[in-house]
Amino acid sequence: MTGADLPDWAWWVLPPQAAVRNLFAVPPGRAPVRVPVALRQARSLQRDDRLDEAVRAYRAAIEELRREEGADAPLTLGAGAGLASALFDVGDLRDAGREARDVVERAGRELPADHAVILAADRVHARTMHGFGLYDHAESSLRDLLKACDGGFGPEHRLTLRVRGDLAALCADRDTAAVGAATEYGNLIDAATAALGPTDEDVLGIRLDAAILTIRRGQATTAIGTLERLLALQSGTLGGSHGQTIRARHRLADMLLLVGRAAEAELECREVVRRWRQRHGSADPRTLAAQDLLVRCLCARKAYRLAEGDCRLVLSARTELLGEHHPTTLATRLRLVRILHAVGEHAEAAEHAGAIERLARQGIARPDGEDTTRMPMELRRMWTPDYPHLLDAVRGIAATRPKPNDF
């Protein structure tokens, strides 16, 4: 068996410098380690982007391993690193950071610093710091982690390539216009494709991140062509219902709307809403983000009454999910104000505008007012304005039909 043949969970219990042939060696007097079915299921669910189910499966596996192997056994800690990763993927940054930190502290008592369990948990912790905007700390941690992975696993290993992707994403967030991020993504795509193959899930994910950077740099036409090619490849390789494929379709719809192709954008967006709703339900943040984009598509072609109904549904769901003070909820309410003005419902629009100003002022005074840590990172980037911007926007709305680009 070679390193490439090992199952993913094996890297959690394999020190990078250890010989592969010793992976399944059993210490004298100990029975072989049995990998719980729940742990295998958790990894499979996480790969399939069924994240809520993956979190539950990881928790079940950890409880079983604690009873049978002990709380500080490498496989138990490896399952903890997997749980931290799934929590991060689902958008729960606080719990992901806590779980990763706990794994690192426990593993550090018995395992070498370059053990795969520690490296995996360190990666999650660094990514949570990135998510919280602690860029300097995140970059320092990721560079140390890249050095450890490069020396332990080698430059072509999946974990090493993932850490390089994390650094490229960090570079892009620190400076959207940075040429360095675009160059790094280009080099990373070449390296990952050579190591893993052009249709590997990680390679497709890196290509999607690179396309998103193109979007954020204002290169819409280039981004549309890239996303269309990537979407075709993802649909054929991962399937139309895979999370990566749906995210790429969402980005494509966004870009089509940006360049004025509202009818095409609406078709893509309806498919995104349908797919997310099938996978995660109507109240999931991803479903709601797609439905919010659909509202914008409808407004762009002046179907304001249809947009009004969808916008009310999104506002109701976000109020229940995030609370009425949350900036994302208020941004949705602001969109409804504009739509109501467009259909002539000026009195109700004024009521909602007054509510936005009151709630935004309260939100400014609340230290947890802008807590978006339970939302996927890409949704926080896309949908979370700050309170002063909301106040300025609501004050600037005239009681006349807004222009389509106001939506």
240 in a domain, yes or no?
no
Q: What global pTM score does this model have?
A: 0.71
Supply angle C-alpha 280, 282, 287, rounded to 5.
70
81 in a domain, yes or no?
yes
Residue among 117, 118, 137 at smallest CA distance from 127: 137
Q: Do 254 and 26 touch, CB atoms closer than 8 A?
A: no
Residue 406: what pLDDT? 53
The residue type found at 150 is D
- Residue 102: give its domain's CATH number: 1.25.40.10
246 in a domain, yes or no?
no
209 in a domain, yes or no?
no
Alpha carbons 128 and 116: distance in angstroms, whole number: 19
247 in a domain, yes or no?
no
| Residue 119 φ then ψ, to 5° | -65, -40
150 in a domain, yes or no?
no
Residue 305: what pLDDT? 94
Q: Which of 137, 165, 193 is the last residue of a domain?
A: 137
Residue 277 gets the label, from left (phi > 0), alpha (psi -120 to 50) or beta, of alpha
- Helix segments in 48-132, DSSP class H: 51-68, 74-90, 93-110, 116-131
Residue 392: what pLDDT? 73
Angle of the 51-68 helix axis to the 37-47 helix axis, nearest 10: 160
Annotate 325-341 with DSSP letters as a single string: TSHHHHHHHHHHHHHHH
Q: Do 127 and 88 touch, CB atoms closer than 8 A?
A: yes
353 in a domain, yes or no?
yes
Total domains present in the chain: 2
Residue 33: what pLDDT? 55
Each residue's pLDDT tens digit in the chain (407 positions)?
A: 333 444 444 444 444 443 333 333 344 444 455 677 888 888 888 887 788 889 999 999 999 999 988 888 888 999 999 999 999 888 788 889 899 999 999 988 888 888 888 999 999 999 988 887 788 889 999 999 999 988 888 898 888 999 999 998 888 877 755 667 788 888 999 999 999 898 888 888 888 888 878 777 777 778 888 889 889 988 998 889 888 899 889 989 988 998 899 999 999 999 999 999 998 889 888 899 999 999 999 999 999 999 999 999 999 999 988 788 877 888 899 999 999 999 999 899 889 988 888 887 776 655 444 444 444 444 444 334 466 666 777 777 644 445 544 55
The residue type found at 129 is M
Alpha carbons 104 and 123: distance in angstroms, whole number: 10
Residue 34: what pLDDT? 65
Residue among 264, 252, 200, 265 at smallest CA distance from 226: 252
Q: Which of 84, 116, 137 is the last residue of a domain?
A: 137
Domain that holds residue 368: 307-407
Q: Which of 91, 121, 137 is the last residue of a domain?
A: 137
324 in a domain, yes or no?
yes
**Which residues lie closer than 8 Å to 302 by C-beta, 6 or more apart?**
342, 404
Residue 23: what pLDDT? 35
